[in-house]
Each structure stands twice: as C-alpha cells, then as structure tokens.
Amino acid sequence: MVVPWHGLEFPSFFSNTSNTSSLIVQILIFFLAFLAAHSFRPERSAKVLAMKAIRIHEHGGLDKLVFEDVPVPLIGPNDVLVGVKATSINHLDIWVRQGLPGVTFPLPMIPGVDAAGIVADVGSEVRHVRSGDRVVVAQGISCGHCKQCLNGQDNLCKDYRLIGEHRDGGDAEYISVPSRNILALPEKVSFESAAATALVFLTAWQMLVDRANVKPGEDVLIHGAGSGVGSAGIQIAGMMGARVIATTGSDAKAAKALELGADDVINYRSQNVLSEVRRLTEKKGVDVVFDHVGVAVWEESIKALSKGGRLVTCGATSGYEAKTDLRYVFYKQLQILGSTMGKKGDLQTILKLIERGILKPVIDRVLPLAQAREGHRIVEAGEQFGKIVLIP
C-alpha cells in the first residue's frame, strides 16, 4: 500500500507486517518525509541563486572594486534577506578597499555600510517583519545578550561588528542580516534617503546628543561640513538650539552649509580657522568641537575650545597620530570624548525626524552600483557635498 502525503509517496507503515524491524524502518521513512515536507533546515536559500555585487578581493586602488556575480547569501532561522534598493559610500568603504595597517578584513568581501530595501525572505523564527516590507538595515551587529546589549547600548558590545567591514555589506542586490538589525522604513522616507542616513546621522546623533550633550545656546564647531557626517552634524546641532560654526574647503560648499543651517562658515583654504573662531566667539572659544578629520585639525581644535569645552571625535580621515598639548587639557578643564556609531534605538528616532522633515539627508548624487569606482573616487577626492548613493 502506498500513501500520498504532502506531495510525497512512501510505503504505509500501517500495512500488514510481522517484522518489527521493518515497521521501525517505515516509521523512520515517514519521519524523514515529514521533515522534508516542512523544510526543517538550519539554513534556507534564497529564491534567486545569483546576484550582482561589488567585491574586494585584495586591497588597493579603485581597480580593486570588482563588479561581479556572486551567490545570494543564505539566511538562518533568525535572519532576514533584504533586496537592496539603495546603498551609499562612506569613508569606511575607502579604508576597507585600501586596507589599514594592523587591521585584517575578511577578503574577499562586499563593502557597503548602508542598506535600505525590501524584505525578500525571512527565517523561520522571524516574526516582526515579512516579505515585501520596506526596511533599513542597522549596521551594527552585536551579541544581543551581554549587559551592554540588554541596556540598549549595543554599540558598546565587545562583539560589535559592522556590515561592510567585518562581514559582507550592502553593495549588492541582496544582503542577509540578523532580524534584530532590521528597522521599518516609513513610507515618506525614500530608499535613497534611508541609505544616506543610517550611518552618518546615527554617528552624529551619538556625538552631539549622547556624548557631548549639546545644550541650547552653545557654540559648536563642525569640521568638514561637506561630508556626510558633517552635514548631519550641522542639522542636529542646529535642531538642539546650538549656534553652528562649520568649516569647509570651498566657497561653493560654504554656501551649501549655510543653506543647511550653519550660522557661520569658515573656508579653511582661505581663512585661519582658529582666528575666525576667536573672532566669532569674542575670544571665548567654542563649547563643542565635532571632529572626524583627525590629525589635520586636532591641535587647532584643542585650542579653539572654551574653558570646560568638549571635543568629540568619531574618526581620523587625515591621520590618527595627533599631538595633544596637555597643558590646554588640564588648564582649560577640557573633555576629549570618543564616539563610535550609536544605539539602534536612536536610528528609529532619527527616521521619525526625517519623516517629519526636521532632519534632511543630503545627497550629492545617485549612481548605479556598477559605477562604485567613480563614487569612491569622488569621496576620496572630497568633491561631494553630502552622500554618494548607489543603486543596485
């Protein structure tokens, strides 16, 4: 006797038999067929087998960005597969491509720290999102169970990792991430805006809101107004009621920084930043310096601070071996604050502010993913104002 079940046919273990071992074998066959029918697997593969992606096989110049076909990533029971609709270029992508002394990246890998798109598939244990949902990826992946994670400070987790740096990123048609890194994307926020938002606004938010604790009426010096994080910093500091003094390297960018909300802008190519800060603050100095540049501006940043001032830094694009005159630090009672990324929960707040039009992602231009080399060239040369967005 043959019993059809879930599209499968196998011998019935209800058939007459006097052989106990044969019955056990048939029960085992039934159990295995049941598992197969219900797809109880540790990993599930995507419906599409291959995708286009940018991959880095070895460190170096722009030619090391290879546009090629790669397998669509697998997802586990707690993962989500996102069909990427937009990603963007950050300075971190430049470092990953070029390589850094003493840092090992998992090559070959897909760069890209930002990603927004539509859910293509979900693992068997995922409940809060489903296929077809519009989402943005929170870049920082943490363990989820340590003290810092449980307190909502996931970016302090000892296992904290970023997509596009420690694992494959968003410069592809699909990306697989843990479900806890998936946030709903408001309908009013485009995929391009989301991709231009997640890293830079979250970074600037933690720097100014959490670390420097900017207060209304304070003077804040924002370095690199034309960068993604600088353009975000101008808006967040202004939203908090601070007076914003921004620096940039051209009059054209200075005009854009003023349009974005800066109160004053210093062109560091034609003006002395420290002298202008002293003039604008009547020799008092600024309360907060917002730095992501590093060694090129470090000494003047320390000197530009008022007594009790705070310098908050998230990066060192010009170099990391900065010299600090400690006499300024202890005499003026300065605070030097480090900052990396931000809490996933704050990204939800940022997206709401963008939805309401209070904060606005700044997009310099949009390019197809296949032109990632050109995007890297623009960012590396500092020609952009805001973010370069890539469309897979």
**pLDDT on residue 40:** 34
Give start and end residues of each alpha helix (H) in the chain: 20-38, 91-98, 147-150, 191-195, 198-205, 228-239, 251-260, 273-280, 295-304, 326-331, 344-355, 372-381
Asked whether residue 183 falls in the same domain as residue 113, the answer is yes
Q: What is the mean pLDDT of each run of 10 residues along the chain (392 residues)?
A: 38 44 52 42 57 98 98 96 98 95 94 98 95 97 94 94 96 97 96 97 98 98 96 98 97 97 97 97 98 96 98 94 96 97 96 97 97 97 96 97
pTM of the model: 0.86
Residues 116 and 182 in one domain: yes
The pLDDT, as a whole number, for residue 49 is 87
CA atoms within 13 A on the CB side of 353: 19
Q: Containing domain of residue 227, as a range?
A: 200-338
Instruction: Give the pLDDT confidence score for residue 22 in this predicted structure.
Output: 56
Tell me, yes or no, whether 322 lies in a domain.
yes
Q: State whether the Cα torsion 33-36-40-42 is positive or negative.
A: positive
Q: What is the pLDDT of residue 163?
A: 96
Q: Is 250 found in the same domain as 137?
A: no
In a domain, 117, yes or no: yes
pLDDT single digits (tens) 251-296: 999 999 999 999 999 999 999 999 999 999 999 999 999 999 999 9
What pLDDT, in 10s, does the model give residues 312-345?
999 999 999 999 999 999 999 999 999 999 999 9
- Say which CATH number the domain at 145 has: 3.90.180.10
Q: Are residues 260 and 277 in the same domain?
A: yes
Residue 62 resides in a domain = yes
Residues 325 and 212 in one domain: yes
Domain count, the chain: 3
Establish if 11 belongs to a structural domain. yes
387 within domain boundaries: yes
Q: What is the pLDDT of residue 43?
A: 43
- The predicted-structure confidence for 305-315, as pLDDT tens digits, reads as follows 999 999 999 99
**Is 76 domain-assigned?**
yes
Asked whether 167 and 58 are in contact (CB, 8 A), the reply is no
Q: Which 8-state DSSP code applies to residue 286? A: E
Residues 218, 243: Cα–Cα separation, whole Å: 6
CA 354 to chain centre: 16
Q: What does DSSP say about strands 264-267 and 243-248: parallel, antiparallel, or unpaired?
A: parallel
Residues written for the chain? 392
